[in-house]
């Protein structure tokens, strides 16, 4: 079942609001102004436990009923958050076992947020009781349109070592492995005499010498954390669904690590939401990789892989930061609007800004909202007005239209979880994904992320011209089979180095690499990390020498494979670096290195991937491109991420729904400008 938001052919504007932060006398004027500036939905309540249960077992919803009445008066729909991300002091004081803990058992105390653990029976009991009371008290109110579960599950911290977690992990393992022998085999405990002879010996990560742990245990630990978060979410969703009408949706706002967001959405939510803060790409400490705020197009593509149409629950409006960390500059004039369109271009049909007015106290006084402390109209409100008018004009054409991708980058949680701890693979994955994103973004080749699982069917992949598998050490036979079937029916796939040598437990089976991908055109007879004193890695591809950093697989091509690239560095210069093999109607390619941007361009060229609008538009590299389609109408989003005016060449007359100036076959976009072109 497609897990998408339904907006009835509208592009929805929303805002996050914290009535508890302001004098009640301000609510009315605040909501009136919201409505006037185009806001139709607000999100509230997600940290306000004490306002509903000020003392254990004493429930009082009058505060929020007054808020809902006020919203109703101003025609605002309300998304109500369950406040489980911030347990009250009275709870954590009396039941410290509800707190999360560091690996050495040190409890994380009151004073921040997300300091609880998912597995405490006490905490689950308190949460469940409150949620049921909330649902009973509030769900009949006509202002309510949906519910948000908790807030940013696995944000701030994504590891859990409380006593309850250790116990639950042991139960989870018994469920999974049934016998200790099976666990010992799966974790390879015969290595370094780690064999368990009693279940009680098994724990989550604890302090160890060198801070190093069994890698297979770590992989299961992450799966367990994911299952814990999912189960906590499901408990809440199930409780809500016992009371709320079907017209009200349930969502939560992500995406965070150690969490199978696909599985969670499938089993518990109506759709996933996302919190989008592209200015993180420009903060102190951000990578100078050329993607900056444009990387958020990729982040949103990952959201879209879960929910083709989704909501941005928190869309950056102003400068961001905590008092204690994070220092984001102010968005430049136009960027707030640009990023809202970035979300819409990627599949968001609802965009809710964070937040109405900047907090006057607390850790987030620098996480600015639409309004500053002084509450006066400002340039952000002016951009909101522009969005209000534009969304009103284009909403019907855009909302519900589908993103059209030419290719997909394969991701899976097994490799995500395993690679995080694998210092041999992690740098490759990080480097190559950036290289692919740069090449795809600057070539204007629309891409999806695709969540590859053992259940993936070839027909799900058939729509893509190309699949990109950056580096996937874990490649099961089922996944390899699905990819082979996709290829034989005409698909193309590119595998990066270090793919296919691990099984689902992270073991390295006694088989030639790349294991289940034997059909991909080569075996790997040698390989090496590139050390800091090695010559810079180079590959010769399509007659051009490109960077080939970090790691090299030395390939023995299959007899019917063609050498696509050769190494141009170190003692194996001249040896095959990439092979291409035709399989029935399609092609497989194995590229034996980490990717540079230039290498990615050459591989896209090899497979003739290009911008699907290049019959109509000549788009400069600094402009982002996306395509949404509905009823045969194609709408091209053009997003100028640069600080200067740029122009897009027009091969034929087109219509820009956002009315940017056209002159001499050129469409002009101002700094941070956006165009929305009907391609027909």
Residues 629-648, interacting with its own copies (CB under 8 A): 643
Task: Pick one of 57, 211, 632, 653: the residue that binds its own copies (CB under 8 A).
Answer: 211
Considering only residues 384 through 423, tell me which ones interact with its own copies, judged by CB under 8 A.
421-423
Beta-carbon count within 10 A of 211 CB: 8
The stretch near its own copies (CB under 8 A) out of 29-37, 96-104, 449-457, 559-567 is 96-104
Tell me the C-alpha distance between 638 and 618, whole Å.
Answer: 11
- Applying CB under 8 A, among 389, 526, 582, 629 the residue interacting with its own copies is 526
Q: Per-residue x/- marks for its own copies, 446-485, CB under 8 A?
A: ----------------------------------------
- Confirm or reject binding of residue 112 to its own copies (CB under 8 A): yes
Cα–Cα distance, 590 to 300 (Å, whole number) = 28
CB of 477 to its own copies, least distance (A): 17
Contacts of 469 (CB under 8 A, 6+ apart): 409, 410, 483, 493, 494, 495, 496, 499
Q: At a CB cut-off of 8 Å and minimum separation 6, what does 325 contact?
A: none
Residue 130, SS3? helix
Among 9, 75, 142, 362, binds its own copies (CB under 8 A): 362
Is 100 one of the binding residues for its own copies (CB under 8 A)? yes
Specify the residue, 485 or 516, whose C-beta has the smaller distance to its own copies: 516
**How many Å is the Cα radius of gyration of the chain?**
26
Answer for which of 9, 28, 62, 109 binds its own copies (CB under 8 A) is 109
**Whole-angstrom Cα distance, residue 567 to residue 531?**
16
- Report the distance separating Cα 368 and Cα 320, nearest Å: 6
Contact call for residue 25 and its own copies (CB under 8 A): no
Question: Of 9-17, 432-440, 505-513, 630-638, which segment contacts its own copies by CB under 8 A?
Answer: 505-513
Instruction: Pick from 513, 548, 564, 658 the residue near its own copies by CB under 8 A.
Output: 513
The least CB distance from residue 20 to its own copies, in Å, is 5
Least CB distance to its own copies at residue 529 (A): 5
* C-alpha to C-alpha distances, 635 to 255, 348, 631, 649, 657, nearest whole angstrom: 27, 14, 11, 16, 9
Q: Nearest distance from residue 287's CB to its own copies, in Å?
A: 10
Nearest distance from C-beta of residue 451 to its own copies, angstroms: 24
How many angstroms separate the first and last alpha carbons of the chain? Answer: 29
Torsion angles phi and psi, residue 668, rounded to 5: -100, 125
181-186, Cβ contacts within 8 angstroms, sequence gap of 24 or more: 186/216, 186/220, 186/505
Q: Is 29 in the site for its own copies (CB under 8 A)?
A: no
For position 438 contacting its own copies by CB under 8 A, the verdict is: no
Helix axes 335-346, 379-398, angle to 10 degrees: 20
Ranges within 268-287 binding its own copies (CB under 8 A)? 279, 282-286
The correct pick among 9, 463, 490, 509 for binding its own copies (CB under 8 A) is: 509
Tokens (6 digits) for 313: 């629950």
Q: What's the CA gap between 613 and 676, in Å, rounded? A: 13
> CA angle, 432 as apex, 501 and 338 as ends, to 5°?
140
Q: How far is the CB of 234 from its own copies (least distance, A)?
A: 23
- Residues 569-608, one symbol each (x = binds its own copies by CB under 8 A, - = not), give -xx-------------------------------------
Q: Could you say which of 10, 63, 88, 558 contacts its own copies (CB under 8 A)?
A: 88
From the list 240, 269, 236, the residue with the least C-alpha distance to 254 is 269
Part of the chain binding its own copies (CB under 8 A), chosen from 4-12, 190-198, 262-270, 391-399: 190-198
> What CA–CA distance (Å, rounded) separates 645 from 449?
31
Q: Is 382 in the site for its own copies (CB under 8 A)?
A: no
The answer to whether residue 527 forms part of the interface with its own copies (CB under 8 A) is yes
In the bound state with its own copies, the residue whose beta carbon lies nearer, of 50 and 402, is 50
Which structure tokens are listed for 7?
A: 């907006």
Instruction: Please check whether residue 11 is in contact with residue 391, taking contact to mean a CB–CB distance below 8 angstroms.
Output: yes
Select from 128-136, 164-172, 355-363, 574-582 the region that touches its own copies (CB under 8 A): 355-363
Q: Is 494 helix (H, G, I), strand (E, B) or coil?
A: strand
Q: Does 33 bind its own copies (CB under 8 A)?
A: no
Compare residues 206 and 242 and give the one whose CB is closer to its own copies. Answer: 206
In a 3-state reduction of DSSP, which class is residue 675? strand
Residue 72 burial (CB count, 10 A)? 16
Q: Which position among 9, 75, 329, 574 is part of the footprint of its own copies (CB under 8 A)?
A: 329
- If the CB atoms of residues 535 and 661 are measured against its own copies, the closer one turns out to be 535
The stretch among 73-81, 233-241, 524-532, 631-639 that binds its own copies (CB under 8 A) is 524-532
Minimum Å distance from CB 32 to its own copies? 17
* Interaction residues for its own copies, span 127-186 (CB under 8 A): 156-157
Helix (H, G, I), strand (E, B) or coil at 460: helix
Asked if 65 is part of the footprint of its own copies (rule: CB under 8 A), the reply reads no
| Coil, strand or helix at 231 | helix
Query: Which residue's CB is nearer to its own copies, number 5 or number 513?
Result: 513
Widest Cα–Cα separation across the chain: 79
CB 226, CB 247: distance < 8 Å: no
Contact 282, 293 (CB under 8 A): yes
* Residue 104 near its own copies by CB under 8 A: yes
Q: Tell me if 149 sits within 8 A of 82, measured CB to CB.
A: yes
Q: Would you state the structure tokens that stand for residue 53, as one six-digit string?
A: 């249960």
Q: Which stretch binds its own copies (CB under 8 A): 107-115, 429-437, 575-583, 598-606?
A: 107-115
Q: Report how many residues bind its own copies under the rule CB under 8 A.
A: 123
Angle in degrees, CA 421, 422, 423, rounded to 5: 110
Q: In this structure, what are the phi and psi dihedrals at residue 8, rounded to the nearest 5 degrees?
A: 50, 45
Least spacing, CB of residue 36 vs its own copies, in Å: 20
Binding mask 222-261 for its own copies (x = CB under 8 A): ----------------------------------------
The catalytic residue positions are: 152, 314
């Amino acid at each position: 079942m497609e897990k998408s938001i339904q907006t009835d052919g509208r592009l929805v504007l929303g805002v996050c609001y914290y009535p508890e932060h302001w004098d009640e006398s301000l609510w009315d004027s605040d909501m009136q102004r919201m409505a006037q500036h185009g806001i139709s939905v607000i999100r509230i309540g997600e940290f306000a436990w004490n306002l509903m249960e000020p003392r254990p077992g004493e429930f009082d919803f009058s505060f929020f009923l007054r808020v809902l009445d006020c919203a109703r008066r101003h025609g605002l729909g309300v998304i109500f958050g369950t406040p489980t991300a911030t347990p009250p002091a009275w709870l954590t004081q009396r039941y410290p076992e509800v707190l999360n803990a560091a690996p050495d058992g040190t409890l994380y105390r009151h004073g921040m947020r997300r300091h609880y653990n998912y597995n405490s029976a006490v905490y689950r009991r308190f949460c469940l009781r409150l949620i049921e009371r909330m649902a009973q008290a509030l769900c009949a109110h006509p202002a309510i349109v949906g519910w948000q579960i908790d807030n940013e599950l696995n944000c701030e911290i994504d590891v859990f070592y409380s006593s309850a977690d250790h116990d639950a992990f042991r139960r989870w393992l018994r469920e999974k492995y049934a016998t200790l022998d099976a666990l010992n085999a799966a974790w390879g405990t015969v290595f370094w005499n780690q064999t368990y002879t009693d279940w009680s010996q098994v724990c989550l990560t604890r302090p160890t010498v060198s801070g190093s742990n069994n890698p297979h245990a770590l992989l299961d630990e992450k799966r367990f954390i994911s299952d814990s978060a999912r189960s906590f979410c499901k408990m809440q969703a199930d409780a809500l669904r016992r009371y709320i009408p079907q017209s009200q949706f349930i969502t939560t706002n992500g995406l965070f690590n150690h969490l199978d967001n696909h599985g969670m959405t499938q089993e518990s939510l109506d759709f996933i939401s996302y919190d989008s803060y592209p200015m993180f790409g420009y903060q102190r400490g951000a990578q100078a990789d050329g993607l900056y705020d444009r990387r958020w197009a990729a982040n949103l593509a990952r959201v879209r892989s879960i929910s083709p149409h989704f909501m941005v629950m928190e869309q950056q409006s102003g400068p961001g930061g905590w008092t204690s960390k994070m220092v984001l500059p102010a968005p430049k004039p136009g960027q707030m609007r640009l990023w809202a369109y970035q979300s819409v271009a990627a599949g968001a049909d609802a965009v809710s800004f964070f937040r109405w007015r900047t907090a006057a106290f607390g850790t987030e006084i620098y996480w600015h909202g639409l309004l500053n402390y002084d509450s006066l109209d400002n340039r952000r409100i002016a951009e909101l007005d522009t969005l209000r008018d534009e969304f009103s004009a284009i909403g019907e054409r855009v909302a519900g239209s589908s993103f059209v991708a030419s290719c997909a980058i394969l991701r899976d949680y097994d490799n995500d979880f395993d690679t995080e701890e694998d210092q041999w693979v992690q740098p490759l994955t990080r480097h190559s994904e950036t290289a692919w994103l740069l090449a795809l973004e600057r070539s204007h080749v629309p891409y999806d992320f695709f969540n590859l699982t053992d259940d993936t069917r070839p027909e799900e992949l058939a729509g893509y011209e190309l699949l990109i598998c950056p580096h996937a050490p874990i490649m099961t036979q089922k996944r390899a089979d699905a990819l082979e079937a996709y290829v034989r029916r005409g698909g193309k796939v590119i595998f990066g180095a270090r793919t296919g040598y691990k099984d689902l437990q992270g073991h390295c089976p006694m088989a030639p690499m790349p294991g289940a991908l034997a059909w991909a055109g080569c075996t790997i007879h040698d390989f090496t990390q590139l050390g800091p004193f090695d010559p810079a890695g180079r590959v010769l591809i399509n007659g051009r020498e490109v960077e080939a950093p970090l790691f090299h697989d030395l390939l023995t091509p299959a007899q019917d494979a063609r050498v696509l690239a050769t190494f141009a560095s170190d003692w194996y210069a001249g040896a095959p670096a990439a092979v291409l093999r035709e399989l029935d109607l399609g092609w497989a390619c194995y590229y034996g290195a980490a990717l540079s941007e230039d290498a990615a361009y050459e591989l896209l060229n090899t497979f003739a991937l290009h911008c699907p609008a290049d019959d109509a538009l000549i788009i400069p590299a600094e402009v982002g491109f996306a395509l949404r389609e509905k009823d045969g109408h194609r709408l091209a989003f053009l997003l100028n991420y640069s600080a200067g005016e740029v122009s897009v060449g027009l091969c034929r007359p087109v219509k820009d729904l956002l009315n940017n100036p056209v002159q001499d076959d050129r469409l002009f976009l101002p700094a941070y400008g956006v165009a929305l072109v009907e391609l027909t």
